[in-house]
Structure 1
Amino acid sequence: MTRRKANQYFHVYILVSQSAESVVKVGKANNLSRTRSLARMGYAGRHDWSHIASFPMNSNHEALALESLVIAKLSNQGYKLPRMSWTNLINGKPSYADECFSCSAEHAITVANEMASLIEQHI
């Protein structure tokens, strides 16, 4: 098991934008302060990201697998939003958001739970 000094787990997280109904972001991070960082940056043009779920994984490989499976399933279900351009509010640099979906938070959590079960069975 790979452990980080700041946090013992790697997390797959689900965020929701409070200003844009049914816009969720799926991502992977080494700690749970990622939400505040994304909100401060104005990720995807939004500054109100709220952390609604996280799935702690024992290794970076497992977290990457879970993130990839959740993104693939939500994309295959037609929920993936087109790439969004946005300007980072901290450094003023242009950037792009690729991991945003138009489903409900509950649906994203359901998919993440299903994919986490698959990983647990096969890894």
Structure 2
Amino acid sequence: MQRTLSIVKPDGVKKNLIGELIGRFEKQGFRIVALKMIHMSKREAEGFYIVHKARPFYGELTTFMSEGPVVVMAIEGNGVIDKVRELMGATNPKDAAPGTIRADFADNVERNIVHGSDSAESASFEIPYFFSALEIVG
């Protein structure tokens, strides 16, 4: 059993896609074991995306992620990290396979609806960034 973090980004929240995304994850047999809506400060977004600090898109990304509410969730299931990444589609929606979240809903590479942990190592940092052990059910 594996856990991953997913975030419905500010553009996904604005487009009222929270239920749609949760439904897609649940239809795969995954369980949502923690869920909440938050509005990250710029500083909180910078802390979360610290791994990208040296990248040229870091400032724009952290500004975007702090511009409005997001929904963070911990998802549990067998092979959940890779499967959620597959359901999300390529980072650039132009490259995303038809039927993926980003192909269906994203406007561009910067505003691409959803985040998902890219590895078990990332998930082990990302989940506790948003959830205490008491907030995770299961």
- TM-score above 0.5, yes or no: no
Which TM class, normalised by the smaller chain length? 0.3 to 0.5
Q: Which has the higher helix share?
A: 2
Tell me which of the two structures has the higher relative contact order, counting C-alpha pairs closer than 8 angstroms and 6 or more residues apart.
2
TM-score, normalised with respect to structure 1: 0.33
Q: Which has the higher strand share?
A: 1
